[in-house]
Amino acid sequence: MCAAGPVIVITGTPGTGKSTHAQLLVDESPVPLKHINVGEWVKEKGWYEEFDEEWQSYTADEDKLLDELEPIVAAGGVILDWHTCEVFPERWADLVVVLRCDHARLWERLEKRNYALKKIQENNEAEIMQVVLEEARASYPSEIVVELKSETTEDLEANVARIVEWIAVWKNERASEA
């Protein structure tokens, strides 16, 4: 049985443009894709263990999250958008996109979101230290992990075009296998 579409994980430090990329991909993909903003889903569905007051964020109940995502991912045609990726089983992902942004630009974006200074500093340091990129490289085969710069509108457009092209190749390869 062939999945309806690929499973794409879009990850990166908060503020790198994950949700924007995901939504444009939904609009431009040659196959139907469903965008799941995992952080929002965790909040909406109550799949968290606690709310961390200091960091102003939810600690996801990863077991519950994965149990709920499993049938959706198995059907294919989904973009998982989250600031972390190592929680997702390796077998799920067809493509892992790690968005990167210059730390000064990232700082400005997080300030505009009214993040607390400590949270801005922590995320900025994570971006400088390539935490999310290293996590992706450690969790998935190198051939499916792609690092993309996400600083300008031009970057966004080029990234989406590149991923749409990848999806078209994925689709054609599956069609020739059928």
For 58-111, the pLDDT digits (tens) are 889 999 999 999 999 999 999 999 999 999 999 999 999 999 999 999 999 999
pLDDT surpasses 60 at 1: no
The model's pTM is 0.94
Does the residue 178 lie in any domain? no
Residues 82/69, Cβ–Cβ less than 8 Å: no
Looking at residue 68, which CATH number applies to its domain?
3.40.50.300
Cα gap 98→137, rounded to integer Å? 10
Residue 15 known to bind ligand? yes
Alpha helices in 33-113, H assignment, sequence order:
38-45, 62-75, 103-112
Tokens of 9: 């994980």
* CA geometry: angle 113, 116, 117, nearest 5 deg: 110
- pLDDT tens digits, residue range 12-37? 999 999 999 999 999 999 999 999 99
Does the residue 2 lie in any domain? no
Q: What is the mean pLDDT of the chain?
A: 94
How many residues does this entry show for the chain?
Answer: 178
| Largest separation between any pair of C-alpha atoms in the chain | 53
Cα gap 1→65, rounded to integer Å? 25
Core vs surface per residue 102-137: b (16+ CB within 10 A) or e? ebeebbebbeeeebeeebbebbbebbeeebbbebbe
Average pLDDT on 114-124 reads: 94
The closest of 2, 23, 1 to 10, measured between CA atoms, is: 23
Average pLDDT on 115-124 reads: 94
Does the residue 177 lie in any domain? no
Domain count within the chain: 1
Residue 113 known to bind ligand? yes
Question: Does 30 or 176 have the greater pLDDT score?
Answer: 30
Does the residue 142 lie in any domain? yes
Does the residue 176 lie in any domain? no
* pLDDT recorded at residue 169: 96
Does the residue 175 lie in any domain? no
Is residue 116 helix, strand or coil? coil
Tokens of 96: 């892992």
Does the residue 114 lie in any domain? yes
Q: What range defines the domain where residue 82 resides?
A: 7-170
Is residue 50 helix, strand or coil? strand
